[in-house]
């Protein structure tokens, strides 16, 4: 059995997933990265995509992620995301979910710019 490590996937609104895992796959601007226990320290940007977390019980959770950062330090993996949501489907559905989260953020940003400030 693979050695477990701590994983936390958080967004500004909530902790999306937290627990012990044996493997994490995330996408950075340089491509996909797989993380197991005792990975070297790392800080990387996340791109809009799917993140897969394999828990110690063997279950897999796929999460749609829009932006943020990935940190690996002392068997602790933290994904600080702009937006994230657990997908009920596979990787393709999680990617679509991530793209929808990105579109929602873009719409909200555009609305915020368009609304005049009132005092």
Q: Is the pTM of this model over 0.85?
A: no
pLDDT more than 90, % of the chain: 70
Enumerate residues 6+ apart whose C-beta is below 8 A from 70.
26, 28, 33, 42, 43, 44, 45, 46, 77, 78, 79, 80
pLDDT in tens, 17-48: 999 999 999 999 999 999 999 999 999 999 99
CA distance 70 to 93: 21
Q: What is the CATH number of domain 5-113?
A: 2.60.15.10
Question: Can you give the residue ranges of every domain in the chain?
Answer: 5-113
Token pair 């797989």 in the structure block, residue: 34
């Amino acid at each position: 059995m693979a050695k477990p490590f701590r994983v936390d996937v958080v967004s500004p609104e909530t902790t999306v997933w937290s627990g012990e895992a044996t493997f994490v796959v995330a996408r950075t601007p340089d491509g996909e990265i797989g993380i197991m226990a005792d990975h070297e320290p790392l800080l990387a940007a996340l791109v809009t995509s799917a993140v897969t977390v394999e828990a110690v019980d063997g279950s897999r959770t796929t999460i749609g992620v829009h932006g943020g950062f990935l940190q690996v330090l002392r068997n602790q993996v933290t994904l600080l995301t702009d937006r994230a949501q657990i997908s009920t489907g596979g990787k393709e559905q999680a990617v679509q979910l991530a793209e929808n989260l990105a579109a929602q953020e873009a719409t909200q940003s555009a609305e915020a710019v368009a609304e005049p400030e009132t005092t």
